[in-house]
């Protein structure tokens, strides 16, 4: 999208159209600034970055307060920089002085749909259709693009739990600050515990016992890896396969490597876990 669709300079000729009429269609973020204002020069790149990220969900309207003094007076600007949110022709929010990006994002969240909202909706649809790798890729992308906000962290963790990737989900949730550990967080942690208990299948327990008594038995280790992967415990499964491959790269006429590669393919191309274990295999083989 052309930047002119989401960043404009305001003067008397376009103020009515772009500040009032446009705000009936989408929020208008008005930035009052001046050349001599150092805090203005700190804030403006943040606003421009967010305008580009939101791709037209709001209009960034820049007003040079020195050149448009009448407009600044009409809107009650007393210091620079001043930022206002205009919706339906009326100022509804704003702040004065330079602010960190996090504070600007918090303000935007109250008035502008998140640019990641569509990705989350699509990810939820893929998850419902059973496309786990595709869904996780979208959840991960939305989570990263959001700056790892708690609500996106929990959405991504929830998808990982659905995929039975419990250790990764728990690792994500462990980064959520106590102040953000709401009912949704508690629900997800409870799900992890319940699914861990359910994943202790008799087959896995029996194979683990057999392996404990004969750790050099690669056939048992391969069977255990397959059982673990069927419960979404991919990291543990791949680590068992690496033990076999380190001892014998061609074990079972390549069966260990085939199972390993099939597992990575199941996880999904581009997934961080898949990428991590692709690198480990490459280092082992080459």
Q: Are 236 and 263 in contact (CB under 8 A)?
A: no
pTM of the model: 0.59
Query: In the prediction, which pLDDT does 3 show?
Result: 65
The reported pLDDT for the residue numbered 1 is 55
For the chain, domains (ranges, CATH) are: 3-109 (3.40.30.10), 117-198 (1.25.40.10), 202-285 (1.25.40.10)
Sign, CA dihedral 12-14-20-26, equals negative
pLDDT at 207 (0 to 100): 93
Other CB atoms within a 10 A radius of the CB of residue 199 amount to 16
Give the β-pairing of 28-33 and 7-9: unpaired
SS3 category, 243: helix
User: Could you please report the per-residue DSSP string of 18-61?
Assistant: IIIIGGGTS-EEEEEE-TT-HHHHHHHHHHHHHHHHHTTSSEEE
| pLDDT score, position 198 | 73
* Contact by Cβ (8 Å): 10, 28: no
Query: Which sign does the torsion angle of CA 270, 274, 279, 281 carry?
Result: negative
Q: Which residues are catalytic?
A: 37, 40
Q: What sections of 217-271 are H helices per DSSP?
A: 218-230, 234-247, 251-267
Instruction: Give the mean pLDDT per block of 10 residues along the chain (286 residues).
Output: 81 93 95 96 95 90 96 93 95 94 90 81 90 91 86 93 90 92 92 81 91 94 92 90 94 93 87 91 87
CB 50 within 8 A of CB 81: no
Side-chain half-sphere CA neighbours of 89 within 13 A = 3
SS3 96: strand
């Amino acid at each position: 999208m052309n930047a002119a669709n989401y960043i404009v300079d305001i003067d008397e000729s376009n103020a009515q159209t772009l500040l009032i009429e446009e705000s009936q269609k989408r929020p208008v973020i008005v930035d009052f600034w001046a050349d001599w204002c150092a805090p203005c020069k700190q804030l403006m790149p943040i606003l421009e970055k967010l305008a580009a990220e939101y791709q037209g969900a709001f209009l960034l309207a820049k007003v040079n307060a020195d050149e448009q003094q009448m407009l600044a007076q009409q809107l009650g600007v007393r210091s620079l920089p001043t930022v206002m949110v205009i919706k339906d022709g009326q100022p509804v929010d704003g702040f004065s002085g330079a602010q960190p990006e996090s504070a600007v994002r918090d303000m935007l969240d109250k008035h502008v749909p998140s640019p990641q909202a569509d990705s989350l909706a699509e990810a939820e649809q893929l998850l419902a259709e059973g496309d786990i790798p595709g869904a996780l890729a979208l959840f991960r992308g939305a989570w990263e693009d959001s700056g790892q906000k708690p609500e996106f962290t929990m959405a991504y963790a929830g998808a990982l739990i659905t995929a039975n990737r419990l250790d990764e989900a728990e690792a994500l949730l462990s980064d959520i600050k106590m102040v953000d550990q709401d009912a949704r967080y508690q629900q997800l942690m409870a799900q992890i515990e319940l699914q861990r208990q359910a994943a202790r299948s008799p087959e896995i327990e029996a194979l683990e016992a057999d392996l404990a008594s004969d750790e050099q038995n690669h056939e048992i280790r391969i069977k255990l890896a397959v059982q673990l992967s069927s419960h979404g415990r991919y990291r543990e499964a791949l680590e068992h396969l690496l033990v076999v491959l380190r001892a014998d790269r061609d074990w079972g006429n390549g069966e260990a490597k085939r199972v390993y590669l099939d597992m990575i393919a199941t996880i999904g191309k581009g997934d961080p876990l898949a990428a991590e274990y692709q690198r480990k295999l490459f280092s082992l083989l080459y």
